Structure 1
């Protein structure tokens, strides 16, 4: 974060977090509060450790200061840096970016999810215990073409099935009830369904595209899987950057679930803020997955060199999709192998790197 970014953020949050001095003691300044919170999020250091560099007691950090400041960050940034589309025009703007940057038309975003490690609340039993053997809450997010979060749902306990957790979100409810105001087919390219791209953790639906199974892949299906993986890479990069820059996600977070939700949302908003205002320092190109189309090579981002902080959702058992969903995916396959083909796709689709992402079973 640059000095200008910090000073901008400090000016915004100061009215919300500044406390008055009393006759008994001097209050902790807004700058101290913001510095301590950002250091906690960025380093993942323990509160006991932070007390030496911030001169603030762990009790104040844990119980009051960090959650309050995270809440303030959310309040001041959400209007400008976290806006969910509310009209067909908004969705079309997002899809135009996907088509321009990733050659994928009619795309409203990449859906992905992660487990966040937590210390479970007292007397919660196995409520937050997931099948991978640790306690967690789940993030479900939609990411745009610029690797920015446009929707984040956090707080579902880790015991939920990965494949069905999206069905518990407000987004999914509105999608099923057709209340998202997605573009109609007469407004989309080639009359295809407006869609969201996903990996193997989610089911194939009319407006949700997932790849074909690795079994019995034809050349055309490999091309489709590659084109889908290329668009979905924004989600991999977004979560990779998040865990790389906010080291709190590489620890087991020792806060109550409600406070963890504040921490996660603050980190996602800071991610969007820094992606737009401090791109070169926050997310240099070397950190991101990228490809060289001239010689059909894939270059993993530097965030992949470290152990995962945010754990991916697991492959979901195959659920038989409706015929309309399968037909919609087939139409996209025909488009990518026909009028929507790009010159490098055949070579890239045959490269093994795509299999790293796509181990599907539907």
Structure 2
């Protein structure tokens, strides 16, 4: 801890220097600057190499690091950061903090998952904790509005489904599969209202987030609006994604675990399949293919540690944060998908026959 007495010695020395007539004017100025500089360095406790980067209100200061370091600090590269900055800038009012610094503070929170106070004392984004809270409240809804619709799309063209189906076949030997369905829990603080609804089976408060991912580990649908106590199948049955996929897959399928029901376009594993049977072979390949979506969740949560460490906000704001992280995840590693064709699909017997045919052909 800094002691005021440690500052008295340089001051006494400074007084002595000024009383010496033999000192030149330049020497007297240096005698004043050096003790004050030492005092500032001692009280801040920041190394010299880092103190040089403290002038962070400049528009370009956060870009004065290597590309590799930039990705490490903010999860995205400089080019993508600047593109996002260009999109959000017209919607953010001018303030004492530059737009790049404010956006960097948001990304830094998402990447580290630290409390607002810890992020506020990050030497690259050195702002007050109260200011950071205001920045998050301003930017998170804006990023959700501007990024999610552009980067998360459940609609797939015929060509996109053919490519995805081909990749699933080459990797896992499962035909006509284009995506995987899964649910994952994101921890949150105890809500002020209806807290029992958010208490999941594992004993902590969470959002039960539904995700649909394609073969490129891209999130093509997400729903973070349901509390942790809600079952995966209930979320799926109420989702817009299910409604759209039921009429657009055109004979293709998505994979889901046994928590979901077998449907005409949803393939689930067989129950109690005996070893050596075609049902067991199907289950093995089904599990291997679904491992892809588990890897997607792992990458998402490792990239944005705030999803691992728990979100200390009200559920509605936590939902926005999850959506923004999913959109940024797609920007980091995937291309946007748009629909070019429309399809209609008529199913029969909840896909039992299709699943049997696929399993018997393995």
TM-score by length of 1: 0.68
**Number of matched pairs:** 273
- Check if 1:156 corresponds to 2:226: yes
- TM-aligned CA deviation for residue 72 of structure 1: 3.3
Which residue number in structure 2 is paired with residue 182 of structure 1? 249
- TM-aligned CA deviation for residue 119 of structure 1: 0.9
Which residue number in structure 2 is paired with residue 15 of structure 1? 90
- Check if 1:5 corresponds to 2:80: yes
**Structure 1: stretches of 5+ with no match in the other structure:** 184-192, 278-321, 338-362
Q: Residue 56 of structure 1 is aligned with which of 127, 151, 154?
A: 127
| Aligned partner of residue 164 in structure 1, secondary structure | helix
Task: Summarize the Cα distance change of 1:13–1:96 in structure 2 as closer, same or farther, 3 Å threshold.
Answer: farther
Contact kept in structure 2, 1:115 and 1:136, CA below 8 Å: yes
Which residue number in structure 2 is paired with residue 32 of structure 1? 101
Which residue number in structure 2 is paired with residue 129 of structure 1? 199
| Aligned partner of residue 264 in structure 2, secondary structure | coil
- TM-aligned CA deviation for residue 74 of structure 1: 3.4
- Check if 1:166 corresponds to 2:224: no
In 2, distance between residues paired with 1:182 and 1:61?
44
Task: Summarize the Cα distance change of 1:131–1:94 in structure 2 as closer, same or farther, 3 Å threshold.
Answer: same
Higher RCO, 1 vs 2 (CA within 8 Å, ≥6 residues apart): 1
In 2, distance between residues paired with 1:74 and 1:172?
22
Task: Summarize the Cα distance change of 1:67–1:238 in structure 2 as closer, same or farther, 3 Å threshold.
Answer: farther
Which residue number in structure 1 is paired with residue 147 of structure 2? 77
TM-score by length of 2: 0.68
Which residue number in structure 2 is paired with residue 230 of structure 1? 288
Task: Summarize the Cα distance change of 1:201–1:67 in structure 2 as closer, same or farther, 3 Å threshold.
Answer: farther
User: What is the aligned-residue RMSD (CA, Å)?
Assistant: 2.4
Which residue number in structure 2 is paired with residue 275 of structure 1? 333
Contact kept in structure 2, 1:87 and 1:182, CA below 8 Å: no
Q: Residue 326 of structure 1 is aligned with which of 344, 352, 355?
A: 352
**Structure 2: stretches of 5+ with no match in the other structure:** 1-70, 72-76, 336-347
In 1, distance between residues paired with 2:87 and 2:270?
47
Contact kept in structure 2, 1:101 and 1:145, CA below 8 Å: no
| Aligned partner of residue 137 in structure 1, secondary structure | strand
- TM-aligned CA deviation for residue 46 of structure 1: 0.7
- TM-aligned CA deviation for residue 203 of structure 1: 1.8
Contact kept in structure 1, 2:111 and 2:303, CA below 8 Å: yes
Task: Summarize the Cα distance change of 1:4–1:323 in structure 2 as closer, same or farther, 3 Å threshold.
Answer: closer
- TM-aligned CA deviation for residue 198 of structure 1: 1.1
| Aligned partner of residue 186 in structure 2, secondary structure | strand
Contact kept in structure 2, 1:88 and 1:181, CA below 8 Å: no
Q: For 1:145-200, what per-residue CA distance to the aligned partner results, in whole angstroms no more than 9, with x for missing partners?
A: 0000001111101121233221121222445xx4x3221xxxxxxxxx42110122
- TM-aligned CA deviation for residue 68 of structure 1: 2.9
Q: For 1:57-83, what per-residue CA distance to the aligned partner results, in whole angstroms no more than 9, with x for missing partners?
A: 333333x31243233333443455322
Which residue number in structure 2 is paired with residue 202 of structure 1? 260
In 2, distance between residues paired with 1:228 and 1:56?
49
- Check if 1:107 corresponds to 2:182: no
Contact kept in structure 2, 1:67 and 1:262, CA below 8 Å: no
| Aligned partner of residue 141 in structure 1, secondary structure | strand
In 2, distance between residues paired with 1:238 and 1:324?
28
Task: Summarize the Cα distance change of 1:130–1:209 in structure 2 as closer, same or farther, 3 Å threshold.
Answer: same
